[in-house]
Amino acid sequence: MSKPAVRHLSKTDPTMRALIRRVGPCGLAIRNQQPFETLPASKMRRAGFSRGKIRAIKHIARKARDGRVPTRRACHALTDEILIERLTELHGVGQWTVEMLLIFTLGRPDVLPVDDFGVREGFKIAYGRRKQPTPKQLRRFGERWKPYRSIAAWYLWRAAEKALHRKIEPAVT
């Protein structure tokens, strides 16, 4: 998935090409989990669950048992849009959570989480903007990255991460 994506992103966007060169090979790793395992995991805290989190986990577990949360195999037959619509109906599951599942668990190559702070911050940094784009602006700009918007998002996260590390790393004297 990575080589054609990098080729496409580099060809369609000079700024993305420069970011790819700075960051290096895409290290997007896909987790081998069932969607049910992924959805509660994003809501868990070590040893101390809030009531709301426990309620969300129990709700997701019931819906998984009832077949509302599809298996990994069943997910492959469903579009991103259908999965987002279906899973965000679950208590405690929002669009961002499903987008992370699509990218990191199902390996979907064309998901752009426009509401993600790190993606928007990475865009601001990589493209030399004074402020983050709105989700609508990022969605429109990201059209050029189709069908590899997940890979573009990964590189934007790296841009934000590298900028954060530069700010917090002590200066070498």
Average pLDDT (28-38) is: 77
What is the distance between the alpha carbons of residues 107 and 128, in angstroms, rounded to a whole number?
Answer: 29
Question: Domain residues for 20?
Answer: 2-28+111-168
Boundary-marking domain end, from 105, 130, 146? 105
Cα R_g (the chain), whole angstroms: 18
12 and 57 both lie in a single domain: no
Residue 142 has pLDDT above 80, yes or no: yes
- Any catalytic annotation for residue 116? yes
What is the distance between the alpha carbons of residues 50 and 144, in angstroms, rounded to a whole number?
Answer: 41
Residue 33's alpha-carbon distances to 30, 101, 135, in angstroms, are 9, 10, 29
Does residue 153 sit within a domain?
yes
Amino acid found at 10: S
Would you say 142 and 104 are in contact if contact means Cβ atoms under 8 Å apart?
no
Would you say 16 and 145 are in contact if contact means Cβ atoms under 8 Å apart?
yes
75 and 132 both lie in a single domain: no
86 and 135 both lie in a single domain: no
Active-site position among 66, 80, 110, 116: 116
Total tally of structural domains belonging to the chain: 2
Residue 50 has pLDDT above 80, yes or no: no
Average pLDDT (136-159) is: 97
Confidence of residue 71 (pLDDT cuts 50, 70, 90): confident
Boundary-marking domain end, from 105, 126, 154? 105
Taking the whole predicted model, whether its pTM rises above 0.85 is answered as no
Amino acid found at 21: R
99 and 135 both lie in a single domain: no
115 and 153 both lie in a single domain: yes
What is the distance between the alpha carbons of residues 87 and 168, in angstroms, rounded to a whole number?
Answer: 37
What DSSP character marks residue 46? S
Three-state secondary-structure class, residue 47: coil
64 and 120 both lie in a single domain: no
CATH number at residue 51: 1.10.340.30
**Greatest CA span in the chain, whole angstroms?**
61
Residue 1 has pLDDT above 90, yes or no: no
The answer to whether the bond into 147 is cis (omega within 30° of 0) is: yes
CATH number at residue 10: 1.10.1670.40
